Structure 1
Amino acid sequence: MADGSMPDIGSLELLVAVVRTGSISAAAREIGVTQQSASTRLRAIERQLGLALFHRTPSGTRPTLEGEVVASWADDVLAAAARFRAATRTLRGESTARLTVAASQTVSARLLPLWLVELRRQQLADGRTPTAVQLLSGNSTDAEALVRDGRADLAFIESSEVPSDLGSTTVDRDELALVVAPEHPWTATGPIAFETAATEPLVAREEGSGTRRAWEDEVRRRLGRDAAAPAVVLPTSAAVRSAVANGLGAAVLSRREAADDIRLGRLRAVRTTGDPVVRPITALWRGGARDLSASGRELIDVAVQTARAQAGRRTPAPQ
């Protein structure tokens, strides 16, 4: 039964780490506590919320559907806490440059943290005060709107459609993956025909999601018709991953977004015929190139450098 209290920030960090790693012991090492302490804190969270958040088995710890959803909400709380810490540093005079960044879910969860760490490293190495960054997370349509109405200085979206009324540049590319539960019939066959995947009602994000838009645009481009209407529409990538893992159906997700679940065996990636579906990661801002702020330009440069470095690690050296 819920006791009405709110889990502390450390407990939320532990919860998110367990969902990401699939292991209480791995999460405990990451957070810097003992496994026994981690297990005790997780059970305390479940009592506080009145929810069963995990399936505990000898092979590991798997989140329930409620656990996936609560973890996605915890991510939002942790992001807000980070913004609060950055804002208080600014008030103390520890930061002179500010940048409000809007980002789609894949970018905010998988890419932007790496960019911000590298941006801070470079600025400190140059003897400069790091930029204070405020993050606003939503879907790609939300991010576009936040830049357009002036609430964000810069946005990063993962959509195949780039608005013509904003300044833009491509900083990276992202592959989409068709994913299913391990016991799904598609895992026992060869590549699935792209047309078969396009005809299947998928578990999908809401309209405005860059992932959903990119998939639907690619179906129209290749087949000249619309993709099947979704079987279920869910508000977060975490909820989509959990629904698929529990056998609700197939989904198309960013391969980066699904990587941990694929590695842990919660999901299987199914190949489709034809070329992989790849969509751009695009930076947006108001005006032209001259209107981009210095701190925004610096973050874009870091994003491009990071993408090139990762592409280099993925490409075998010539013999």
Structure 2
Amino acid sequence: MANSKTVLEYVADGTVDIGIVSDPVYRKDLVVEPYFKDEVVLITPPHHRWSQGPPIPLSALQTEPFILREPGSGTRAILEAQLQTIGLTVDNLQVAMVLGGLEAVKAAVMDGLGVSLAPSIGIRRELETKRLAVARWADVEMVRDFNLVYAKGRPLPARMKAFLKCAREAVAGWIGGSEAASEGNG
């Protein structure tokens, strides 16, 4: 698993046939097909005061150790954009560590090393098993657009066409259907 920037490069250079990335993609060499939307949530250890209290303002992130995603991450890009709207940057946060993947971020939060952001679809199992909790935002809504990407003009192998078909059909049940998309923007 890699961040969005790396996945786009892998698809463009043929390392992989298809990628799933978040946020806007402006590449003429790639087909970008909207896949689904997902909320980015504030994750905490299960018994953290934020998970059981009133909604949290974005500015409160300055007061807690924060597990930050690496540069190039879609989650980090959303955080940086939201912080900018209130005159802050990630430099204003108490960054405990910078990690390069969602599983590592979840593990650090579960171990009590800080709070972080995660796409809600990526933490369902941990919420069900009460290994993570979610704090509500008071003043922001963070949503990520996920896209399927593949190289323009490069024929897809039959197995990748089958994958795309399955992915398009599965997303409605997987996400709930309301935000699923099935038309490419070619």
Query: Normalised by the shorter chain, which TM-score bucket?
Result: 0.7 to 0.9
The whole-number CA distance in structure 2 between the counterparts of 1:161 and 1:199 is 30
- CA 292–156 in structure 1, closer or farther in 2 if over 3 Å, else same: farther
The whole-number CA distance in structure 1 between the counterparts of 2:172 and 2:8 is 25
Contact 1:203 1:251 in 2 (8 A): yes
The whole-number CA distance in structure 1 between the counterparts of 2:35 and 2:136 is 26
Q: Name 2:123's counterpart in structure 1.
A: 258
- How do 1:103-122 residues align onto structure 2 when only pairs under 5 Å count? none
The whole-number CA distance in structure 1 between the counterparts of 2:62 and 2:169 is 34
The whole-number CA distance in structure 2 between the counterparts of 1:174 and 1:188 is 23
Tell whether 2:61 aligns with 1:197. yes
The whole-number CA distance in structure 1 between the counterparts of 2:121 and 2:14 is 29
| Pairwise CA RMSD | 2.8
- CA 199–298 in structure 1, closer or farther in 2 if over 3 Å, else same: farther
The whole-number CA distance in structure 2 between the counterparts of 1:177 and 1:198 is 16
- CA 170–239 in structure 1, closer or farther in 2 if over 3 Å, else same: same
Tell whether 2:141 aligns with 1:276. yes
The whole-number CA distance in structure 1 between the counterparts of 2:2 and 2:156 is 22
Q: Name 2:156's counterpart in structure 1.
A: 293
Partner deviation per Cα, 1:165-208 (whole Å, 9 max, x = no partner): 32211111222111111232213421111332377552022222
Q: Please identify which structure carries the higher strand content.
A: 2
Equivalent position to 1:241, from 103, 106, 113 = 106
The whole-number CA distance in structure 1 between the counterparts of 2:175 and 2:102 is 24
Percent identity over paired residues: 27
- Matched position secondary structure for 1:178: strand
- CA 297–231 in structure 1, closer or farther in 2 if over 3 Å, else same: same
- Deviation at residue 303 of structure 1 after TM alignment: 1.9
- CA 143–245 in structure 1, closer or farther in 2 if over 3 Å, else same: same
Q: Name 2:31's counterpart in structure 1.
A: 167
Q: Please identify which structure carries the higher helix content.
A: 1
Compare relative contact order (CA 8 Å, sep 6+) and give the higher one, 1 or 2.
2
Partner deviation per Cα, 1:86-110 (whole Å, 9 max, x = no partner): xxxxxxxxxxxxxxxxxxxxxxxxx
Equivalent position to 2:41, from 164, 174, 177 = 177
Contact 1:174 1:279 in 2 (8 A): yes
For 1:210, give the aligned amino acid. G
Partner deviation per Cα, 1:220-245 (whole Å, 9 max, x = no partner): 3x436434453311233222222212
TM-score when normalising by structure 2: 0.77
Contact 1:192 1:270 in 2 (8 A): yes
Contact 1:192 1:273 in 2 (8 A): yes
Contact 1:198 1:219 in 2 (8 A): no
Q: Which portions of structure 1, spanning 4 or more consecutive aligned residues, are displaced by more than 4 angstroms?
A: 198-201, 311-315
**Unpaired runs of 5+ in structure 1?**
1-136
- Matched position secondary structure for 2:43: strand
Contact 1:160 1:217 in 2 (8 A): no
Tell whether 2:33 aligns with 1:150. no
Equivalent position to 1:216, from 80, 103, 107 = 80
The whole-number CA distance in structure 2 between the counterparts of 1:266 and 1:189 is 18
Contact 2:3 2:101 in 1 (8 A): no
Contact 1:285 1:292 in 2 (8 A): no
